[in-house]
Amino acid sequence: MNKFVSRRELLSLIGKTGATAAVLKASTALGLVPETNVQFPDIPSVNPANRPAVVILGGGISGLTTAYELDKAGYDCVVLEAAPKAGGRCMTVRSGDLIDEVGNPQICEFDDEPHMYFNAGPARIPSTHRNLLRYCRELGVELEIFVNENKEAYVQDDAMFNGKPIKNAAVTTSARGFMAEIMAKNFTGHELDQPLNQYEAESLLSAIRSFGDLSEGDVFKGSTRSGYAHGGFIEHGVQKDVADFSELLKTDFMRMILGQNEGETGPVLFQPVGGMDKIVQGFTNKLEGKIYYDVMVASVNLNNGDGVEVTYEHKGMKYKIQADYCFNCIPSHLMTGIENNFDDNYIEAMRYVRRGEAYKSAFQAKTRFWEKDDIYGGISWTNQKIQQIWYPPHGVFKDKGVILGAYDYGGGMHFTKLSQEERLETAIRQGQKVHPEYRDQVEKGITIAWHRMNHMLGCAARWARNRDGMTADEERLYRTLQQPAGGRHYMIGDQISVHSAWQESAILSAHWAINDMVKRQSGISTMPGQKLS
């Protein structure tokens, strides 16, 4: 009698959506697909004889966007950047580059070749991120297609098939088959709010059958969709064995795999040819002489509604700038440690924003061993701490390549507690479970813990402490930080967005702030409702 889970038990499981929903929402990296409703800035040109002075703190994507747009409109812009290069988290690592992790600085030793790079921060551009794509076009950044899901890549879970890696196609095809069988056998139409007519019912069943590739009688007997065991071209194809469904249920990846191809990774994805920081270069090429590097901001003070005074240090010297406007993408938790005269609410908001953690590592591969396995780009998933292995979609057929060997964006940050040697050794040992030849193939590993990177000490901003969204109090703080302090100081960056960790958000934060400045200049009210007096 206890052969099956009872209906009551199942209903009880069905009620437990909390845990599942939490998991589903946990990943910013596999997030949602917001649509823009921030207007692209239309900035009135300024009088060349009387150019407003703008100081931009931080040369990340939001700072660069602000500088680029205001410079075009004739503003007198200066960007102060703490690091020796611009881009912030939009960072591509190549031969000779410094990874400036506090306490664990590394120099990248990859071969010096154009395709041998690692996008340590953002690595994907969804085709729905219109503003970022507009800048790529405008700045001449050449794009190529990025591969996210690859059915030929692996899924490996110690609990499933005794830990043997299996092809994503086998998981997906079997899961779809069994799910379709459940649907086709149980579907009566009663579960829908609306009745179905004969045609609609037939259409649904037809879709269900196609979804799962069901055999005669609506059972799943395996599918050639995941390939033949042998034959198929000259000889007749012999179908592969059906992946055991109960094995698939041993892994959480059923959920992962079936949730794929939706959300931000659903649209076509791009990467810039040669590295994500080609976007940064596109901006900096247009801002020659206007960006100052290795600059430590010492104070940011409002001048009674009449501009902002910034002091900073550079090579042991102190400097002061008076500006009409300040746009500030310094992470707010670092900004609170810099002298300022902001009011308490503003500082409370800055302090409230938490920072996500994110860890990535990468290796140079001596040969493109994954290509021998029909893998070109995409992701293998594993239940181990490394979580993912990414294969480069570019440089196909070349001798070597750079692969992502670990990507931890919320799994307890196991790696950051380890020494550099242990980080790499762990990644190699775990990678071997997916690719037995891994240890012999990978070398010159690098690691990046964004929450320990100098000048950042944090990854994506996080506003809501509860997964259900912002509380009223959080909403108040969020709106406080979006408003210009003293009408002249704007916080920018993904820290004033509800969709952090994407470059599009950084760009839109800049657009939002610029639009607000333009409105204030024109005397257009920025208050909700109609202006009465």
> By CB under 8 A, what part of segment 217-236 binds a copy of itself?
217-218, 223-236
- Token couple for 409: 């964006």
Q: Which is nearer to a copy of itself, 191 or 288 (CB)?
A: 191
Strands (E), 30-75: 53-57
| Helices and strands in the chain, H and E counts | 15, 27
Check binding of 251 to a copy of itself (CB under 8 A). Answer: yes
Q: Which is nearer to a copy of itself, 183 or 323 (CB)?
A: 183
Give whichever of 16 and 315 is closer to a copy of itself, judged by the CB atom. Answer: 16
Residue choice 164, 261, 521, 524 for contact with a copy of itself (CB under 8 A): 261
Q: Between 102 and 396, whose beta carbon lies closer to a copy of itself?
A: 396
- Residue 129 Cβ vs a copy of itself, minimum distance, rounded to whole Å: 9
Residues in binding contact with a copy of itself, number by CB under 8 A: 131
Q: What is the 3-state secondary structure (H, E, C) of 472-497?
A: HHHHHHHHHHHCCECCCEEECCHHHC
Q: Measuring CA to CA, which residue among 449, 446, 410 is closest to residue 427?
A: 446
Shortest distance, CB of residue 229 to a copy of itself, whole angstroms? 7
Six-digit token string for 525: 């009210």
Q: Which two tokens stand for residue 462?
A: 């996080």
| Angstrom distance (rounded) from CA 478 to CA 462 | 11
Smaller CB separation from a copy of itself, 27 or 299: 27
Q: What residues from 150 to 169 belong to the interface with a copy of itself (CB under 8 A)?
A: 150-152, 169
For a copy of itself, the binding residues in 454-483 under the rule CB under 8 A are 469-470, 482
Q: Which is nearer to a copy of itself, 156 or 173 (CB)?
A: 173
Query: If DSSP codes are grouped into helix, strand and coil, which group holds residue 189?
Result: coil
For residue 146, give the nearest of 450, 404, 384 by alpha carbon: 404
Residues 503-532: x/- map of binding to a copy of itself (CB under 8 A)?
A: -xx--xx--x--------------------
Least distance (Å) from a copy of itself to the CB of residue 469? Answer: 8
CB of 297 to a copy of itself, least distance (A): 24
Out of 43, 46, 98, 201, which residue is the one contacting a copy of itself (CB under 8 A)? Answer: 201
Which CB sits closer to a copy of itself, 250 or 366? 250
State which residue, 107 or 229, has the beta carbon closest to a copy of itself. Answer: 229
* Smallest separation (angstroms) from a copy of itself to the CB of 13: 5
C-alpha 397/C-alpha 418 separation (Å) is 35
CA–CA distance, 231 with 229 (Å, rounded to integer): 7
Nearer to a copy of itself, 64 or 184 (CB): 184
Beta-carbon contacts of 150 under 8 Å, excluding residues fewer than 6 positions away, are: 168, 375, 376, 377, 378, 379, 391
CB of 149 to a copy of itself, least distance (A): 8
CA distances from 311 to 4, 53, 87, 319 (A): 70, 15, 22, 5
Nearest CB to a copy of itself, comparing residues 177 and 307: 177
Burial string for 284-307 (b: 16+ CB within 10 Å, else e) reads: beebeebbeeebebeebbbeeeeb
Tell me which residue of 21, 13, 16 sits closest to 469, measured CA to CA.
21
Interacting residue with a copy of itself among 51, 115, 209, 414 (CB under 8 A): 209
> Toward a copy of itself, which CB reaches closer, 453 or 506?
506
- Binders of a copy of itself among residues 344 to 403 (CB under 8 A) are 374-378, 393, 396-397
Q: Which position among 85, 250, 414, 476 is part of the footprint of a copy of itself (CB under 8 A)?
A: 250
Interface positions, 267-306, toward a copy of itself (CB under 8 A): 267-268, 270
**Cα–Cα dist 93/381, whole Å:** 23
Site residues for a copy of itself, window 480-499 (CB under 8 A)?
482, 496-499
Give me the least distance between CB of 244 and a copy of itself, in Å please: 9
Nearer to a copy of itself, 87 or 126 (CB): 126
Q: In the window 99-138, what residues touch a copy of itself (CB under 8 A)? A: 127-128, 130, 136-137
**Interface pick for a copy of itself out of 208, 386, 424, 491 (rule CB under 8 A):** 208
Among 27, 33, 341, 356, binds a copy of itself (CB under 8 A): 33
Site string for a copy of itself, 171-190 (x = CB under 8 A): -xx-xx-xx-xxxxxxxxxx
Contact 78, 310 (CB under 8 A): no
Strand partners, 438: none
CA-CA distances (angstroms) from residue 330 to 26, 293, 304, 336, 529? 25, 14, 22, 10, 32
Nearest approach, Cβ of 267 to a copy of itself (angstroms)?
Answer: 5
Smallest gap, in angstroms, from Cβ of residue 29 to a copy of itself? 15
Torsion of CA 430, 433, 436, 441, to 10 degrees: -30
Segment (H or E) for 155: strand 154-156
> DSSP letters along 229-285, please?
EE-SSSSPPEEPPPPPHHHHTTSTHHHHHHT-SSGGGSS-EEEETT-TTHHHHHHHH
Q: State the amino acid at position 411 in one-letter form.
A: G
CB of residue 140 to a copy of itself, shortest distance in Å: 9
Q: If you ran DSSP here, which 8-state letter would residue 219 be given?
A: B
